[in-house]
Amino acid sequence: MSNQFLMPSKVYLGKNALIDCFNTIQIPGKKALLVTDESMVKFGYVNTLIKLLEIKNTSYEIFDQVNFEPTDNCVMKGLELYQSTQCDFLIGLGGGSPLDAMKAIAMIASSDKPLTDYTSSSFEQTRPSMIAIPTTAGTGSETTQFTIITDTKRDIKMLLKGSKVLPDIAIIDPSFTLSAPSKVTASTGIDALCHAVEAYTSKKAQPLSSLYALDAIKKIFVSLPLCFSEPSNIDAREQMSIAAFEAGCAFNNASVTLIHGMSRPIGANFHIPHGLSNAVLMYSCLKYVENEAQDQFATIAREINCTTSLNDRVACTDFFNALNNLLKTLYIPDLKDIIDDKDQFKSLIDKISKDAYDSGSPSNSLRNITVEDIQTIYTDLIN
């Protein structure tokens, strides 16, 4: 059986990628909506981009209100600015939230359907051009056909997808990640690791996705602790940027599994950043599928050189020890330590377990996952 492998049509990756590519890039329109957040303005990254646009004689409008994970209301505000100022293409600059918001704005700008319709159908129509410029090494949104938007009426995170959600151009410049706080570096880096490990252990894994996933995992285990302890280490930052891109390509084509399925309801109901909610779930969710994914975990263990055993069971155990050590090195907390109202969490376990299951991601796991399984994991983690 053949496999399709999707990624952006153009990728610029490496130190000074933004400036270098703007020397040759063909701007895909006359006026850009720059989708970003206030911190990107504060750090001067927006100003850097504006200067490059002005050299290209390209007009722009700035939408800098994506200061948390995007909601449907945020997207509609961005759409209003896009349409009222007659923009004709979009640039996303920031972490996963601005990039996801950019994608959703592009979708709704070219559709007469609400975003909720694309939770059950794929978005495959013509839309404005999109340029994605990530400033964290983790979400992989610049490489994927997915966007996650919170439905404020139902308190759920909508997973919207389609080949046309994939950005046209990805510009991945590790210098933009230097300003990320250590906690953000840790959580977004673990998000990338989740992407890679989930893609590698997914029922939808294919040869190319597994190739990208394994290489990303190797890079992350080496470079993420360096980025965390040596924030100005640009070489480590570049390796993490490459790894995040590889992990994004991997899960874009093989999908994610149990971790992401359980993570989204936590973010929607308790406003926990996506990378952190993945990080606190990672060990327990992977442990839950350990028997079914033993061969894959053993292969990972050998790839990251944390085992010398030829016995898959032993190698699998060595992988989990290495993962536990990495999470401790990055000071990743427990779920119960980041939920302020534990009684509220317990009262919502039935709801969020069903939301997680209904997202479809858990069904990609090699173990058959039920709603009851998800309830068990949530309960164990909050107690």
Q: Residue 301's domain is classified under what CATH number?
A: 1.20.1090.10
Q: Residue 97's domain is classified under what CATH number?
A: 3.40.50.1970
- Full residue range of the structural domain in which residue 326 is found: 182-382
Same domain, 198 and 264: yes
Which among 133, 148, 177 is the end of a domain? 177
- Please check whether residue 282 lies inside any domain of the structure: yes
- Please check whether residue 225 lies inside any domain of the structure: yes
Helix (H) or strand (E) holding 134: strand 129-134
Same domain, 76 and 187: no
3-state SS, residue 292: coil
- Please check whether residue 259 lies inside any domain of the structure: yes
pLDDT at position 176: 93
Same domain, 173 and 198: no
Same domain, 255 and 343: yes
Adjacent-strand bridge partners of 12: 171
- Please check whether residue 23 lies inside any domain of the structure: yes
* Amino acid at residue number 302: R
Same domain, 171 and 202: no
* Amino acid at residue number 143: T
pLDDT at position 67: 84
Same domain, 137 and 204: no
Which among 142, 177, 212 is the end of a domain? 177
pTM for the whole thing?
A: 0.94
Same domain, 173 and 264: no
Task: Tell me how many domains the chain contains.
Answer: 2
pLDDT in tens, the chain (383 residues): 788 899 998 999 999 999 999 888 889 999 999 999 999 999 899 999 999 999 999 999 999 999 888 999 999 999 999 999 999 999 999 999 999 999 999 999 999 889 999 988 899 999 999 999 999 999 899 999 999 999 999 888 899 999 999 999 999 999 999 989 999 999 999 999 999 999 999 999 999 999 999 999 999 999 999 999 999 999 999 999 999 999 999 999 999 999 999 999 999 899 899 999 999 999 999 999 999 999 999 999 999 999 999 999 999 999 999 999 999 999 999 999 999 999 999 999 999 999 999 999 999 999 999 999 999 999 999 99
- Please check whether residue 226 lies inside any domain of the structure: yes
Same domain, 151 and 171: yes
- Please check whether residue 1 lies inside any domain of the structure: no
Task: Considering only CA atoms, give the Rg of the chain.
Answer: 20
Same domain, 312 and 165: no
- Please check whether residue 4 lies inside any domain of the structure: no
Concatenated DSSP letters for 244-276? HHHHHHHHHHH---HHHHHHHHHHHHH---HHH
Same domain, 150 and 225: no
Give CA–CA dist 139/187, Å, rounded: 10
- Please check whether residue 112 lies inside any domain of the structure: yes
Same domain, 162 and 235: no
Query: Which residues are CB-neighbours of 185 under 8 A, at least 6 positions away?
Result: 136, 137, 177, 224, 227, 228, 231
The total number of residues shown for the chain amounts to: 383
